[in-house]
Amino acid sequence: MTSVAALGAGSAFAQTSDVAALDAALFANPSATAVLQAWCDRHRPGQTVRAVVARRETIPAGSHAAVLGVGEGEPIAYRRVQLSCGDEVLSEADNWYVPARLTAEMNAALTGETPFGVAVRPLAPSRRNLSSERSWTGQGANEILRHHAVLTAAGAPIAEVIETYQRSMLVEG
């Protein structure tokens, strides 16, 4: 479990209900899952973030090939999840990743409720944020922030993610 103190800029978010602070914490931390876990530690002590899988499949890389550094026809994995703490949905994430760059144990963990950030933690990935939006076409009433990022490990891209953070992240108390 990641402590709030270990999050650096994420610790500021743990003490506020501001979208700007959430955005800053996500930009400052190599793991969005760690930021979500800090929220969980503060609001639901003893619980961990889990990924409720809505969709999982193997697809051709297609438009994700360039970002992931693979050929367009190479198979990649796609997973859509809701990241929750208890009964609170904190974010929804679309994740395209290269299974061949993960261990067998990591790939097995991703078939269940393990968040991507937890599964790949042993790789010590870094995160490069491509965009951050607070307003977008098709935005739902509970959606407050959307990030598009690439995770890399050992210099190679392992995943492209689009994460949509929910209003529940702003709950104080």
| pLDDT tens digit at each of 173 positions of the chain | 333 333 443 444 444 458 888 998 898 888 899 999 999 999 999 999 999 999 999 999 999 999 999 999 999 999 999 999 999 999 999 999 999 999 999 999 999 999 999 999 999 999 999 999 998 888 888 999 999 999 999 999 999 999 999 998 887 64
pTM for this one? 0.86
Buried b / exposed e along 126-152 (16+ C-beta atoms within 10 A) = ebeeeeeeeeeeeeeeebbbbbebbbb
- Give the pLDDT confidence score for residue 136 in this predicted structure: 87
For 79: left if phi > 0, alpha if psi spans -120 to 50, otherwise beta; the answer is beta
For residue 58, tell me if it sits in a domain. Answer: yes
Find, among 75, 4, 73, 77, the residue nearest to 36 by Cα: 4
Listed in sequence order, the DSSP H helices in 29-136 are 32-43, 65-68, 104-109, 116-119
- Give the pLDDT confidence score for residue 135 in this predicted structure: 87
For residue 121, tell me if it sits in a domain. Answer: yes
For residue 30, tell me if it sits in a domain. Answer: no
Q: What single-letter amino acid sits at 103?
A: T
For residue 67, tell me if it sits in a domain. Answer: yes
CB atoms within 10 A of CB 52: 12
Write the CATH number for 164. Answer: 3.40.1410.10
For residue 12, tell me if it sits in a domain. Answer: no
Number of domains in the chain: 1
- Give the pLDDT confidence score for residue 6 in this predicted structure: 36
Q: Are 95 and 127 in contact (CB under 8 A)?
A: no
For residue 72, tell me if it sits in a domain. Answer: yes
- Structure token digits, residue 42: 């503060």
Q: What is the dihedral of CA 138, 52, 59, 109, to 10 degrees?
A: 150
For residue 118, the enclosing domain spans 49-170
